[in-house]
Chain A
Amino acid sequence: MSIRHGLLALLERGQMYGYQLRAAFEESTGSTWPLNIGQVYTTLSRLERDGLVRPLPESEAGQRPYEITDAGRADLALWFATPISRTDRPRDELAIKLALALTTPGVDVRSVVQAQRSATMRALQELTRLKYGSNRPEDLPWRLVLDSMVFQAEAEVRWLDHCETSLVRHQPSGPAPPPPRPDDADARDAARWAGEEARR
């Protein structure tokens, strides 16, 4: 996540000082990416060094607001206009882990897949719950951020499903457990009963 461009976008709304920027950043991303105030000031000083923001005189309360420069606006416009490259993102640890699990002796890959699927599914539940709780019009930016995370989690679950299917095809597990013995009504009667029900 580019904190640099996040701060520039916030300053495009008007001048702000460090704590205001932190609060506005967290508000617009629904606290999904918490910032500490040190990160804000470090980023501001780099932006100032690069001529993208400039400091204004301190207020009576001792707060120093910043404003965006023309160069900053141009940089921000370029950021919005340029798609994010997938190769800019960190390596996918999960894909690497599964690939290694397949070639490492003694690792039950299907268990690795299922453990990850449960964890990702659980994260997806949490994201959905957060989304369900944010219905106000002013929650829209946060909802979109949550949606992005929801779709990424969904994609991961789908990929894990795909991995499992491939594993079953290429590495069939051991023999299935013996079939359990029905302990009540004759299965054929039950099937006939179900058929009659379905026709009703």
Chain B
Amino acid sequence: MSGSDDAVLELRAVHRTHGAGPAAVHALRGVSLVVRPGELVAVMGPSGSGKSTLLALAGGLDRPTGGEVRVEGQPLGALDRRGLAQLRRRRIGYIFQQLNLLGSLSALENVALPLELDGTSGRRARALAVAALTEVGLPALGDRFPDQLSGGQQQRVAIARALVGERRLVLADEPTGALDSQTGEAVLHLLRRRIDAGAAGVLVTHEARHAGWADRVVFLRDGVLVDTTAPLGSVEQLLSGSER
């Protein structure tokens, strides 16, 4: 797949090997992937196929042993640790199964934290955090602490933290965790809405029903991208084709 000027995320022939010699584990072998604005790509594959490694590399949490990762055209390999940390804070939102909310901070403070760490004024960070909490349907619960929220509400706070500000790349690893199917669906609905508003997303999941929210699904096996579904058409096209 060739590069693209408007790609938010681009992996070019990415390799990731853990260890060396005969004990080396090849987590990814030459994976290429382009994710554009407004596009959600789901990554599926059996355990150990390299899904989470791919996500860690895409988010600058890990470095490839070969190939290149670019976020909004910026090669991550060219950034030092400080530059990478800044890019992660400003440009990338992470949604993990482990929510990692800080128990001593309110929901609002949890959401505002990445912005304040990045030097945004307290007042502005707060305003953006309120907007993000509103986006996830929790405008009134900003003062509550994590242990005063249900599991679904905590996940929404974690999503608000991932979406706050101007993050254009959202990375989600099994984001619905142990949530019931309705709450899990609401989480994906939020993610989808943000993507439709112009962000780009990668969703790692082993649940086909969740991957169904993506525009494209790619399949990994033994660190190799083995298949991908064709992009979806419009709802109108789907409806006219529903007589199959």
Contact = CB atoms under 8 A, between A and B. Distances in A.
A52 to B, nearest CB: 28
A184 B65 contact: yes
A185 interface: yes
Given A179-B24, A180-B15, A187-B19, A128 B63 contact: no
Given A114-B219, A187-B20, A127 B46 contact: no
B46 A161 contact: yes
Contact of A180 (B29, B211, B227): B29
Contacts of B1: none
B235 interface: yes
Contacts of A64: none
B127 interface: no
A22 interface: no
A198 interface: yes
Nearest to B243: A34
A102 interface: no
A188 B19 CA distance: 6
Interface stretch (A5-13, A69-77, A82-90, A146-154): A146-154
A86 B59 CA distance: 46
Contacts of B140: none
A121 B208 CA distance: 7
Contacts of B44: 121
Nearest to A153: B208
Interface stretch (A38-46, A55-63, A189-197): A189-197
B64 to A, nearest CB: 8
A151 B210 CA distance: 11
Contacts of B214: 125
Interface in B50-108: 56, 61-67, 77, 81, 85
* 8 nearest A-B pairs in the assembled complex, by CB-CB distance: A128-B212, A157-B208, A182-B65, A124-B212, A183-B66, A154-B209, A122-B229, A194-B62
Contacts of A176: 222
Interface string A118-139: 1011101111111011000000
B192 interface: yes
B219 A117 contact: yes
Interface residues of B, number: 47
A124 B65 contact: no
Contact of B17 (A127, A165, A182, A198): A182
B53 to A, nearest CB: 10
B145 interface: no
22 contacts: A117-B219, A118-B229, A121-B211, A121-B212, A125-B214, A128-B209, A128-B212, A129-B235, A130-B235, A130-B238, A133-B235, A153-B208, A176-B222, A180-B30, A183-B65, A183-B66, A184-B66, A184-B77, A188-B20, A190-B65, A191-B18, A197-B81
A150 B20 CA distance: 43
Contacts, number: 122
Contacts of A200: 85
A182 B27 CA distance: 12
B63 A124 contact: no
A118 B62 contact: no
Contacts of A198: 61
Given A121-B211, A150-B212, A185-B65, 16 more contacts: A114-B226, A117-B219, A118-B219, A118-B227, A121-B212, A125-B232, A130-B235, A153-B208, A154-B208, A180-B30, A183-B65, A185-B63, A187-B19, A187-B24, A190-B62, A194-B63
A31 interface: yes
A20 interface: no
Contacts of A127: 212
A181 B21 CA distance: 11
A154 B235 contact: no
A48 interface: no
Interface string A18-38: 000000000000011010000
Contacts of A153: 208, 212
B121 interface: no
B46 A165 contact: yes
A126 B63 contact: no
B242 interface: yes
